[in-house]
Amino acid sequence: MNSDDNKAHYIKYHHISDDLALIEKAQSLADLYRLFKQQQRKSNRDFESAFNVILTSVDIFQAYDGWSLYIPTNNNLFSGTCKRNNTYTTETRDALKWLISESYIEQVAGVTRPKKKHSKRRQWMPKSYQLTNKWFTEISDKSLSDPRLIRRNPLAGYWECRRKIDGAKVAIKPSERQIKINHIMLSKTDEVLESYDKFMVNVVTSIGTSAIMPAQLSMMRIFSKGSLNQGGRLYSAVQNYKAETRKYLYFDKEPTLEIDYSSFHPHLLYHQDGLQFAGDDPYVIEGFDRDHVKVAFNIMLNRKGSKNNKSAANTISDELGIDIEASEALEIAILALHSPIAQHFNSGIGLKLQRLDSDIAMSVVDYFVNVLKRPIVSIHDSFIVSVRDTESLILLMADCYRMFVDEKITMRGIKGTAQEFSNALMDAIDLCFKQQTNGMCINYWDALLFKEGVKDFKGVDVEEEDVSETEAL
């Protein structure tokens, strides 16, 4: 079976279905499995739930639509100190291995590992699988669950705290003291992300004319290095669609645009120190590729240097695939341009900045779904909304930034990206950025968007990232 590497999702087990059709199929598969293994029903071996989670994941990640699935089966991920997280149960592992052994799913030949974003290196990914004709014949040839009946797996919370154990990043339980100190923040995270799921399940979301499951939008907050003060960014499956693909997201058939805080972390550092960056773009240095500057800058923020080695040149060289002389020159150029904040480089501050930008993102999402009652998708430091909500998002992003950073700061660099729209719609979006929206009532937008319609998009592309192997993005 041939594979399109760009149409593969990393399978996750964060959801379960209450749809009777899927429940009955999960029960029948559990019975078949026990018969095959000659096992008695045991209360501590819940294969019904395991198969439910697998079937639900197959629905969510579009395996019926020709998508491949990256499926890890390494025993270490499902038990012991390197267990990935609570959703990786031994029952799920055994059920998956049985489905593979019985040819319900089969490995895709010729799978290559995707490159890390902005990197010459390839990242580790598990083997890729597709559903077989046996699955289509004996299990189902179409989705088994109503999307509205898919809910959070009881084993999966809305946040995780991860740290490296024996070379693998795994979910851990923070100390009671950490949980007590951060109780309000964690409770708010659960509240907001649960309400987000309940709201977005009723929003028809598509890429072009192709519907995607609302559960792909469901988010989890991931903290890093065993600390609730580091990381904390929001992650969802829809983030893995490449930027060009995300331009064709639609909410209830309304086109969207993505608005982001441009050069977020550099500006955060300057503003926290009571400074302003003097130039236009913190990542533009004459003689160097902008993407290289951005990657190197973030390496220098995330790396914690030692007294004997404060240079990040070796890491930059390895990550970008450039020689050491070029990486040293790049590091020197960044230090020169950003001398006012140079004390923060090689300090490991990057994950602390992520905690701050994640707090801002949580506030934006909270306000959109619980106050404005409007759909939104978070992509770390950017947000996707219907074009009719452009001005609302711009104003909110500025307000939230001031609330968390400095109420006197005027946020610079908020910019938007979108597909090519009609001149009329582009003009309307431009007026939103200029905050000249008098007369743009609901009827105005209804008429404008009706004329725009929904554009089909066939070039769906993903840049799958196993965030469990990622400390900082």
Is the confidence at residue 114, as pLDDT, over 70?
no
The mean pLDDT of the chain is 89
Pair (17, 128) in one structural domain: yes
- In a 3-state reduction of DSSP, which class is residue 249? strand
Q: For residue 18, is it within any domain?
A: yes
pLDDT of residue 120: 62
Beta-bridge partners for 408: none
Pair (46, 192) in one structural domain: no
Higher pLDDT, 247 or 414: 247
Please report which residue ranges of 405-441 form alpha helices under DSSP H: 423-433
Pair (135, 20) in one structural domain: yes
Condensed to tens digits (0 to 9), the pLDDT of residues 134-179 reads 999 999 999 999 999 999 999 999 999 999 887 778 888 999 999 9
DSSP secondary structure, 122-160, as one string: BPP---EEEE-HHHHHHT-SS--S-GGGEEE-TT--SEE
pTM for the model stands at: 0.90
Residue numbers of the domain that contains 470: 158-282+338-473
Condensed to tens digits (0 to 9), the pLDDT of residues 427-450 reads 999 999 999 999 899 999 999 999
Helix (H), strand (E) at residue 360: helix 350-367
Higher pLDDT, 102 or 41: 102
Place of tokens 């490995």: 107
CA 111 to chain centre: 23
pLDDT of residue 460: 72
pLDDT of residue 466: 46
Residue 354 to residue 357: CA distance in whole angstroms: 5
Helix (H), strand (E) at residue 398: helix 390-404
Condensed to tens digits (0 to 9), the pLDDT of residues 122-139 reads 666 788 999 999 999 999
Residue 203 to residue 252: CA distance in whole angstroms: 6
Higher pLDDT, 176 or 408: 176
Would you place residue 456 in the very low, low, confident or very high pLDDT band (cuts 50, 70, 90)? confident
Pair (233, 122) in one structural domain: no
Pair (368, 392) in one structural domain: yes
Q: For residue 292, is it within any domain?
A: no
Pair (239, 388) in one structural domain: yes
Would you place residue 468 in the very low, low, confident or very high pLDDT band (cuts 50, 70, 90)? very low
Backbone angles phi, psi at 244, to 5 degrees: -65, -35
Residue 283 to residue 263: CA distance in whole angstroms: 7
Pair (42, 177) in one structural domain: no
Pair (147, 166) in one structural domain: no
Here the tokens at position 424 are 């009329």
Condensed to tens digits (0 to 9), the pLDDT of residues 262-291 reads 889 999 999 999 898 988 899 999 999 999
Residue 253 to residue 453: CA distance in whole angstroms: 7
The lowest-confidence range among 22-26, 45-49, 254-258 is 45-49
Condensed to tens digits (0 to 9), the pLDDT of residues 350-388 reads 999 999 999 999 999 999 999 999 999 999 889 999 999
Beta-bridge partners for 159: 221
Question: In the structure, how many helices (H) and strands (E) does the chain have?
Answer: 15, 17
Pair (346, 210) in one structural domain: yes
Q: Which residues, other chains included, contact 244 with Cβ-Cβ below 8 Å and sequence gap of 6+?
A: 459, 461
Pair (149, 237) in one structural domain: no
Condensed to tens digits (0 to 9), the pLDDT of residues 11-35 reads 999 999 999 999 999 999 999 999 9
In 185-230, the DSSP E strands lie at: 205-207, 210-211, 220-223
Residue 242 to residue 349: CA distance in whole angstroms: 27
Q: For residue 181, is it within any domain?
A: yes
pLDDT of residue 469: 36
Q: For residue 291, is it within any domain?
A: no
Pair (383, 412) in one structural domain: yes
Q: For residue 421, is it within any domain?
A: yes
In 325-393, the DSSP E strands lie at: 377-379, 382-386
Of 156, 174, 192, the residue that ends a domain is 156
Pair (134, 266) in one structural domain: no
- CB-side exposure of 403: number of CA atoms within 13 Å? 13
pLDDT of residue 215: 96
The span from the first CA to the last CA of the chain, in angstroms, equals: 33
pLDDT of residue 41: 58
Here the tokens at position 37 are 């293994």
Of 156, 183, 218, the residue that ends a domain is 156
Q: For residue 316, is it within any domain?
A: no
CA 47 to chain centre: 29
Of 94, 124, 156, the residue that ends a domain is 156
| Cα angle: 263, vertex 222, 154; to 5 degrees | 145
Q: For residue 403, is it within any domain?
A: yes
| Total domains in the fold of the chain | 2
Q: For residue 317, is it within any domain?
A: no
